[in-house]
Chain A
């Protein structure tokens, strides 16, 4: 939906992940009608309602640099 916004894409993904956790909805991989060979994960093709506690966001780039962050839904009480 967003396309690849380059250096901004990771932060957009994180914002989408925060919205997904707060609203309890998993955004879909739109336009994925059938999975390609080798992509045999649980690809979410339609938005789903789901209670999310942790979300992993991954970014990879040309040149081979890779980064990942884990977000945790905030329950208003616990630290860290």
Chain B
């Protein structure tokens, strides 16, 4: 497993921060957001991709996400004993059967140059663009490699270059649900026999002026500017939106026979996956959470277990009014009489919302919850919403046996993905 995220640039740092209930949210530094309705976010800090590669020139033009994913992938490969940056891997894996499945999104354009070209081309007298003037600046100053590298398939290309993975290489673009989906679909590829080992997870950064503005105008972001660290407060009565985060999270999935043959440490079993669509609205979840219910039910069925077997639910828990209330409703529909007794926390209270990387980062916390028998908390939960009455593990982690965890991710556009993780025995 590997991460580059707002709570640290390796798995154990992330986990210590989560168990300490730390927040990765702070004032925006990537651009000047001081006049935006939301002036804070959850940024990756103190990260340099060059630390992870002997060939930085191959990756230097990559978008912000491509650079994050290099660190996360190298960490994960190291733990799983997959040799990178070598033509003779000698790691017991046929690299033609080593694949990649990433949740991802578009990168950001080079805003300073792009906007400079627009300013140059804008004709105020006609209120129209003069494309000839625009082109003069754009063609001379925009970097063609940077433009190409904005493609959402590019982080996967960088992992392929780095690891020599030549098997099936996919990206999925289902926004906030993307990296839970990528992990689930990667498992399906292994089950089907298309690959022995998959590098799966997600990467995204939407922390740029358009990302912040767009979500602000949807009133989806918290505007608690006087207290960024307490802004992400899933399931609280005073919750007022999610916090835009960024990062990369990678897990290595491997068939049991390959893992045994190679003698690598098995951290957990990915046991089930369910996927669905609300087929309802772009921004709103279906009122009864029908897509969420369907995905949870399908994941349980795929794992061959009952809702009674689940010890911990890692919720999507975004801290928006709508998500937290509909997700609670959906959990009650699936978990019936057991719903209030299953700890269901949101690590987004600490991490913020990593969008295309969120599901995979949260999956990693599920694996660690199983490893250490401890459930991560939902921090900033001091004024519970009286309508929301599940056990959200307020403010402090909880030591308890965790053998089976469910990880939920729901995206704008109504896509829902759920995976089940089990202790490996």
Contacts and interface: CB of A to CB of B under 8 A. Distances in A.
A64 B148 contact: no
Contacts of B157: 62-65
Contacts of B156: 63, 65
| Best-buried of B148, B153, B154 by chain A (most CB within 10 Å) | B153
Contacts of A63: 151, 153-154, 156-157, 160
Contacts of A4: none
A61 interface: yes
Interface majority SS on B: helix, strand, loop or mixed? helix
Contacts of A64: 157, 160-161, 169
Chain A: interface size category: under 10
Contacts of A65: 153, 156-157, 169
Interface string A36-68: 000000000000000000000000011111000
A62 B148 contact: yes
A70 to B, nearest CB: 16
A65 B160 CA distance: 9
B175 to A, nearest CB: 16
Contacts of B148: 62
Nearest to B169: A65
Interface in B144-203: 148, 151, 153-154, 156-157, 160-161, 169
A77 B419 CA distance: 39
B227 to A, nearest CB: 41
Interface string B79-117: 000000000000000000000000000000000000000
Interface string B244-269: 00000000000000000000000000
Contacts of A62: 148, 151, 153-154, 157
Interface string B321-361: 00000000000000000000000000000000000000000
A65 B151 CA distance: 12
Nearest to A61: B153
A61 B152 CA distance: 12
Interface string B125-161: 0000000000000000000000010010110110011
B161 to A, nearest CB: 8
Given A62-B151, A65-B157, A65-B169, 15 more contacts: A61-B153, A62-B148, A62-B153, A62-B154, A62-B157, A63-B151, A63-B154, A63-B156, A63-B157, A63-B160, A64-B157, A64-B160, A64-B161, A64-B169, A65-B156
20 contacts: A61-B153, A62-B148, A62-B151, A62-B153, A62-B154, A62-B157, A63-B151, A63-B153, A63-B154, A63-B156, A63-B157, A63-B160, A64-B157, A64-B160, A64-B161, A64-B169, A65-B153, A65-B156, A65-B157, A65-B169
Interface of B: 148, 151, 153-154, 156-157, 160-161, 169
Interface of A: 61-65
By Cβ-Cβ distance, the 4 closest A-B pairs, closest first, are A63-B157, A63-B153, A65-B169, A63-B154
